[in-house]
Amino acid sequence: MHGSLNIWQILWQSGLVVKIVLLLLVMASVLSWTIILQKYQELKAIKEANDEFNQFFKTSNSLAEIHRIASENHISTMSLMFRRGYEELNKVGEKLSSGNKGTLAQHFSEHGFQSLERALKTGYNSANEKMELRVSTLASIGSISPFIGLFGTVWGIIDAFSGLSSGGGSIEAVAPGIAEALVATAVGLAAAIPAVWFFNLFNNQMTQINSQMESFSQDFLNLIERLILIRKE
């Protein structure tokens, strides 16, 4: 087509600033998709591991057996919470035994389950730190990329129209410069949109996992309470 613009030729002939902007945006896009693919697989594995571990947890009344399965499953966030709670339970039991301060049933009857709740909360926080790792980078890319692209666009337009400041030239002469400038905005949006979309998706998935972990925390405490009451009787 006569008068059509070759986009690759335009980018190749673009100014240094626009080229730097485009390079930054391409690097941001590559980083974004790397995080997206890694985090997608990670959250998928966590959900599957949680379902598997939670199913075993609900069908077993042996803390030692559950702990054995939890020790083999380092992907599940629920297994992490269980290990922290189980370790705290053992520490309390050992302290009571060494000091002849009564049984677990007496201890928890007098002091409640605050120590176990804190241990479970520690596991909960550790799991969230792992899940949230690098997700905030997607938010940064999604919010900054359009402005980087806009900067390239503004700079390119200024550079294109600077040739008209002396009164010479025509719109046909500055068309390639305007085109290269607008490409910077397009690339910025191309980098930002997937980052924002997957950031929201991952946040929703992590919210669901957090809700499941909170329910598991209550299930763990209920199981400990039932076992302690059985021993007490």
Question: How high is the pLDDT of residue 2?
Answer: 46
Residue in the block written with tokens 């000091």 = 99
127-158 pLDDT, tens digit per residue, is 999 999 999 999 999 999 999 999 888 887 87
Q: Give the Cα separation of 106 and 110 in Å (integer).
A: 6
Question: How high is the pLDDT of residue 16?
Answer: 79
Q: Which of 11-25, 36-50, 109-123, 208-222 has the lowest mean pLDDT?
A: 11-25
Question: Domain coordinates of the chain in residue numbers?
Answer: 7-232
Question: How high is the pLDDT of residue 1?
Answer: 45
* Whether residue 166 has pLDDT greater than 60: no
Buried b (16+ CB within 10 A) or exposed e, 123-149: bbeebeeebeeebebbeebbebbbebb
* Whether residue 103 has pLDDT greater than 60: yes
The mean of the pLDDT values for the chain is 85
DSSP 1: -
Q: Give the Cα separation of 115 and 104 in Å (integer).
A: 12
Which 3 state secondary structure label does DSSP give 3? coil
The pLDDT of 191-209, averaged and rounded, is 96
The pLDDT of 192-197, averaged and rounded, is 96
The model's confidence at residue 233, banded by pLDDT at 50, 70 and 90, is very low
